[in-house]
């Protein structure tokens, strides 16, 4: 059942909609384009029916809801601007003329990806057990002891496999072995 207060508020909203839009436009200033969005939010809030049973001044209540919605929207935008600004400061270099992304150049990123692919291929050329040991220790972050326990081999065997892997990978030449 729809509460009597909700019907009264909905009628008041429909009767005052043009005035509410002017209110939003006047209060928002340069952000007046948001007035229609706020009117829609207000309509949803009014039609939700979560209001006190007795509203003695429906117009005043509507303007209070409208004011609260607008304040919430402005606060949300300020938080978003602050969050974006903080992110930009931590991820960009700023010169006097422009914002510069603190990211590698596209050609450097491509070259790094090619070196990584060549390195992965070099790891793939290691004996199977040496590959498993290397991946578990370097990629999964397991200690020598944990790697040994998972593979059912001695810690000394893990050390030998790592020595073989690191020696072969230290000889790795990304240009000769498949890089740019």
Residues in the chain: 180
What's the number of CA atoms in the CB half-sphere (13 Å) around residue 107?
A: 1
Q: Comparing 28 with 126, which gets the higher pLDDT?
A: 126
Region 3-8: mean pLDDT is 79
Backbone angles phi, psi at 93, to 5 degrees: -95, 140
Q: Which segment of 86-90, 137-141, 146-150 scores lowest on mean pLDDT?
A: 86-90
* Sequence ranges of the chain with CATH classification 1.10.10.10: 106-170
Q: Is the model's pLDDT at 119 over the cut of 60?
A: yes
Q: Can you state the angle between helices 58-91 and 4-28, rounded to 10 degrees? A: 50
Q: What predicted TM-score, i.e. pTM, was given to this entire model?
A: 0.47
Q: How far apart are CA 106 and CA 58, in angstroms?
A: 60
**Does residue 137 contact residue 144 with C-beta atoms inside 8 Å?**
yes
Nearest to 28, CA basis, from 69, 83, 84, 85: 69
Determine the average pLDDT of the residues in 160-168: 92
Q: Residue 96: its pLDDT value, please? A: 61
Torsion of CA 166, 171, 177, 179, to 10 degrees: 80
Nearest CA to 168 out of 139, 136, 133 is that of 133
Helices of type H across 49-134? 58-91, 106-124, 128-134
Q: H or E element: which one contains 100?
A: strand 99-101
Q: Is the pLDDT of residue 50 over 90?
A: no
pLDDT confidence band for 63 (50 / 70 / 90): very high
User: pLDDT tens for residues 95-106?
Assistant: 666 666 666 778
Q: What is the CATH number of domain 106-170?
A: 1.10.10.10
User: Which is more confidently placed, 173 or 114?
Assistant: 114
The pLDDT of residue 150 is 94
With a CB cutoff of 8 Å and minimum separation 6, the contacts of 175 are: none
What is the rounded distance in angstroms from the CA atom of residue 135 to the CA atom of residue 67? 59
């Amino acid at each position: 059942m729809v509460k009597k207060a909700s019907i009264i508020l909905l009628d008041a909203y429909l009767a005052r909609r043009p005035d509410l839009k002017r209110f939003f436009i006047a209060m928002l200033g340069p952000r007046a384009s948001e007035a229609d969005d706020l009117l829609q939010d207000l309509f949803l809030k009014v039609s939700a029916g979560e209001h006190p049973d007795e509203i003695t001044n429906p117009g005043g209540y509507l303007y209070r809801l409208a004011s609260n919605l607008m304040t919430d929207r402005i606060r949300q935008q300020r938080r978003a601007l602050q969050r974006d600004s903080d992110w930009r400061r931590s991820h960009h270099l700023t010169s006097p003329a422009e914002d510069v992304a603190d990211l590698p150049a596209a050609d450097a990123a491509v070259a790094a990806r090619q070196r990584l692919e060549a390195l992965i291929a070099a790891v793939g050329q290691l004996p199977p057990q040496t590959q498993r040991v290397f991946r578990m220790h370097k990629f999964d972050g397991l200690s020598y002891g944990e790697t040994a326990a998972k593979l059912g081999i001695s810690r000394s065997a893990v050390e030998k496999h790592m020595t073989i892997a690191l020696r072969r990978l230290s000889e790795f030449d990304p240009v000769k072995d498949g890089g740019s």
